[in-house]
Amino acid sequence: MLWLGRLFEDRNTFARLTIVGLTGVGYLAMRPDGASLNTVDWFLSVGALVFGFAGIVAPFEVVVGLSAALGAGWFFGADNDVVPTVALAWGLFELGMRRSGPKVWIGMGLGVAGCMLSDLDEAWAEPITVFYAAAILAAPLLLGVQLRTTRELARQAADRAVQEVSRVRAEERTTIARELHDLVAHHVASIVLRVAVARNVLPVTDDRLRGVLDDVHATGSSALADLRRLVAVLRDPGAAAEESFVDPGGLPTALAAVVERNRGLGLRVESFVDPAITGLDARTALAVLRLTQEGLANVARHAGTAASARLSIRLEGEQVEFELEDSGGGSVAAPSGGHGLIGLRERVEILGGRFTAGPRAAGWRLSALLPAVAAAA
């Protein structure tokens, strides 16, 4: 019965009016009550069926017009007003369902007046017919009002649910931002400070050791800056549109820095980065950078720093092809219990791309296909 509920949606107004119109045509064709129709009856009936379709855009005006037509029918000698009366009743239903305010009750009054004028002699002789007509017309009107009220209450409940979800999410983001700032960022800042002290105070004569300290200091400073940007975005999601973790124009440089940092660990990395990736949007650029960072970190962690890796990032049409393969290693892989690959898969799929990772030959292969312009979130 879901189709019946959908029939009364605003977008299906034409379908509803068509069904009512067909019932009117059926009555005129068969006339089950054996009634005869004169010229005025035919004119009013056909006119009511055609004019009723104006209710798609102007239900109140249709009620006014049908009420006036019923009243005029008495003056011009109409004998059968079944079709115009049914059309008016349905017009009042549409009015009650799709409009609110004084027009609804004005339409009701005009409808009763039109019915009285359509049979003025009987209305004058039997005043009770006024209440009879009012009851007949009030039923569809009140049904329409009830449907509209129910829909408005449902929309309000849905809006409140959305607002509650937004509030809970905002609280969760604020909590995460606070913990990142007070715990993680504090420890990272402490590491950066201690490394800076070691660089400037301790007598370091070995250039390799000084290079390691410089690299740790630079990496920690970069991580601290990223944490601060992340905390700012968590506290103000609207800033995400303005705050970018990586400038697409500087993506090749950022990728080169990641590759050099891993080479400094001992990894043999062969890389190809398409210069055209500077045209990516910010979210895709960030995903490519994170794929590279996490992928090479996994190579060092699991295959060992003596392994070799091949990195390829190409822009093919409207898609970015990312591929990272390693040669594997003889050392025992470090135990894995993190969420790196899970996070990468989620990041790629949110953007509308595809992600695969798994063993290949003696090593491991990680690949992704991302849109150059990320899909809308």
Residue 238 lies in a domain: no
User: CA angle 254-271-336, nearest 5°?
Assistant: 80
Find the domain containing 344 and state its range: 246-371
Residue 34 lies in a domain: yes
Bridge partner list, 368: 322, 355
Residue where one domain finishes, among candidates 104, 126, 148: 126
Separation of alpha carbons 13 and 17, rounded Å: 6
Tell me which of 119-123, 141-145, 228-232 is least confident.
119-123
Most confident of 50-54, 200-204, 274-278: 274-278
Specify the pLDDT at position 2.
Answer: 59
Closest CA to 176 of 222, 227, 239: 227
- Dmax over Cα atoms in the chain, in whole Å? 119
**Residues 261-315: pLDDT tens digits?**
888 878 899 999 999 999 888 889 989 999 999 999 888 888 887 889 999 999 9
Residue where one domain finishes, among candidates 76, 93, 126: 126
Number of compact structural domains in the chain: 2
**Residues 2-15: pLDDT tens digits?**
566 677 777 778 88
Separation of alpha carbons 49 and 45, rounded Å: 6
Average pLDDT of 61-70?
A: 89
Give me the CATH number covering residue 322: 3.30.565.10
Bridge partner list, 325: 310, 365
Residue where one domain finishes, among candidates 67, 93, 126: 126
Specify the pLDDT at position 1.
Answer: 52
pLDDT tier at 16 (50, 70, 90 boundaries)? Answer: confident
DSSP for 294-348, written as a single string: HHHHHIIIII-TT-EEEEEEEEETTEEEEEEEE---SSPPPP----HHHHHHHHH
**Is the pLDDT assigned to residue 47 strictly greater than 50?**
yes
**Residues 22-37: pLDDT tens digits?**
888 887 878 766 667 8
Q: For residue 293, what are the contacts with CB-CB under 8 A and spacing of at least 6?
A: 258
Residue 21 lies in a domain: yes
Residue 32 lies in a domain: yes
Residue 141 lies in a domain: no
Residue 234 lies in a domain: no
Specify the pLDDT at position 137.
Answer: 86
Average pLDDT of 75-98?
A: 85
Query: Pairing relation of β-strands 354-360 and 363-371?
Result: antiparallel
pLDDT tier at 183 (50, 70, 90 boundaries)? Answer: confident
Q: Tell me, what amino acid is at 218? A: A
Residue 110 and residue 67 in contact, taking contact as beta carbons nearer than 8 Å: yes
**Is the pLDDT assigned to residue 240 strictly greater than 60?**
no
Average pLDDT of 323-332?
A: 75
Q: Decide: pTM greater than 0.85.
A: no
Burial (CB count within 10 angstroms: exposed 0-12, middle 13-18, buried 19+), residue 169: exposed
At 367, is the secondary structure helix, strand, or coil?
strand
Separation of alpha carbons 321 and 288, rounded Å: 10
pLDDT tier at 334 (50, 70, 90 boundaries)? Answer: very low
Q: Which value, to the nearest 10 degrees, does the dihedral of the CA atoms of residues 105, 6, 153, 54 take?
A: -30
Residue 163 lies in a domain: no
Tell me which of 94-98, 100-104, 180-184, 239-243 is least confident.
239-243
Burial 76-111 (b: 16+ CB within 10 A, else e): eebebbbbbbbbbbbbbbbbbbbbeeeebeebbebb
Residue 160 lies in a domain: no
**Residues 256-267: pLDDT tens digits?**
989 988 888 788
Average pLDDT of 356-366?
A: 87
Tell me which of 59-68, 119-128, 143-152, 301-310 is least confident.
119-128
How does the average pLDDT of the chain come out, rounded? 83
- CA gyration radius for the chain? 37
DSSP for 258-298, written as a single string: HHHHHHHTT-EEEEEE-GGGGGS-HHHHHHHHHHHHHHHHH
Separation of alpha carbons 103 and 108, rounded Å: 8
Average pLDDT of 48-72?
A: 88
Give percent of the chain with pLDDT exceeding 90.
25
